[in-house]
Structure 1
Amino acid sequence: MAEKVTLWFDTTCPFAWQTSRWIKEVEQVRDIEVEFVPMSLAVLNDGREELPSGYKEAMKAAWGPARVFAAVKTEHPDSVDALYTALGTKIHAEGRGGLKGFGAYDELIAEALAEVGLDAKYAEYANTDEWTDKLREYHQRAIDKVGDDVGTPVIQLGDTAFFGPVITRVPRGEEAGELFDAAVRLAQFPYFFEIKRSRTEDPQVRVSELSDAANA
């Protein structure tokens, strides 16, 4: 029986992207069933006036993609994986992310929707509150499982969920599977909570790596 994995993501987050591409690799070497669920850095940081102004503008931009994914997750859940790959590739692999201000991702959203064959109407939801409550609901499901002191991504393995894993490079093939096996084993121990060290590099995204994972 396939092992169920749930991954909560914010499309604009480079760390969530790397983790999601790792899971796509794991799909090739382990019997898993992955559910992608939106969460939101914009929701997570809503009302935090102490944040730097540049980061606040990035959070304004992050609302749009997250709202679109809340709508797609609700109405076309089987399309979330493909849309995340399409939009995430544009944002991260093609280097078109890091945008700021409300509506900043509108063009990329429209391109990704067309690429995966979803109705263009979903792009309209990026800049309205129609799906904001549903987005907050999806987001809260992740927070309820891991607590408040987290970011994106959140992953659930079996009955246990964690923030992370935070990786800067995507393992390939059996190495991806071995990392997954280790994560599952940690999740099985009820008294394990966290491992952490300081990062020495930012996510290293390579187009060829992502294309191979998406098309395998």
Structure 2
Amino acid sequence: MTITPETYDGPTEVDFHFDVMCPWAYQTSIWMRDVRDQLGLTVNWKFFSLEEVNLREGKKHPWERDWSYGWSMMRIGAILRRESMDLLDQWYAVSGEALHVDGNRPHNPDVARHLLEQIGADPGIVELSIDDQSTHDEIKAEHQRVIDSGGFGVPTLYFGDTAIFGPVLLDPPTGKAALRMWELVIGWLEFPHLYEIQHMPRDEKKIFDTFRPYLEARDWVSINRGKEVGFEPAAAD
């Protein structure tokens, strides 16, 4: 039986680690907001860097560059979060939609300024985030938290000290279906030695079609656990 807002007595707070660059985490964040709004949960948005975890030998760390893709978007988010978690929530929502739905480039400083204006924030935060070196420390600490837990990507959820990778999904459920998925996710907490469940095979065409805006807007190569990955579906025989 699916939980309801009236009967819910589960966790009331969750940390959600994300990187704006990640198309999977973006889909999960849509579902997470729906659950939050229905149940009155507290969602603490936290950072994780795909650029750093997938860093190739000989390349600079993202904090060694004046401007980097996901890292710089998170530096903007760190400044916003100092004012309120709600502002970071809005920044992730608007920058994620720009990249993963509209096929825009929020990692471009000019686009980032425009998006900040959309949420009623000062576009000068772009320059402020570049000048404020302490934003690096915030992102590093939250990234390292996931690494120390054995994590490697996002979305990663924390319930207290317990970390779960996922859920990884394409079609974010809403309404009752969103609550049903939340019920399944928190049910996983009852089984500390349940490490992985996957559907096989993956619907590669559906993944490609869903991620098309992101694929057209990205200015980077996608890396997963040290290997370059593509999303193009295999040709039919």
Q: How many residues align?
A: 192
Q: Decide whether the 8 Å contact of 1:38 with 1:69 is kept in 2.
A: no
Alignment match, 1:37: 46
Alignment match, 2:6: none
Alignment of 1:66 with 2:74, yes or no, is yes
Alignment match, 1:195: 197
Alignment match, 1:11: 20
Alignment match, 1:91: 99
RMSD: 2.8
Q: Which moved more, 1:24-33 or 1:133-142?
A: 24-33
Q: Among all aligned residue pairs of Structure 1 and Structure 2, give the percentage whose two residues are the same amino acid.
A: 31
Q: Decide whether the 8 Å contact of 1:83 with 1:113 is kept in 2.
A: yes
Bigger Rg, structure 1 or 2:
2
**Structure 2, gaps ≥5 residues long:** 1-8, 60-66, 212-237
CA distance in 2, matches of 1:40, 1:125: 20
Note the alpha carbon deviations across 1:80-111, whole angstroms, 9 max, x for none: 111111111111121114x8xxxx42122112
Q: Which moved more, 1:61-70 or 1:165-174?
A: 61-70
Q: Decide whether the 8 Å contact of 2:154 with 2:165 is kept in 1.
A: yes
Alignment match, 2:162: 160
**Structure 1, gaps ≥5 residues long:** 52-58, 206-216
Alignment match, 2:233: none
CA distance in 2, matches of 1:91, 1:23: 18
Q: CA deviation at 1:126?
A: 5.5
Counterpart among 131, 142, 146 of residue 142 in structure 1: 146
Alignment of 1:110 with 2:113, yes or no, is yes
Q: Decide whether the 8 Å contact of 1:72 with 1:80 is kept in 2.
A: yes
Q: Decide whether the 8 Å contact of 2:114 with 2:123 is kept in 1.
A: no
TM-score (norm 1): 0.76
Q: CA deviation at 1:199?
A: 2.9
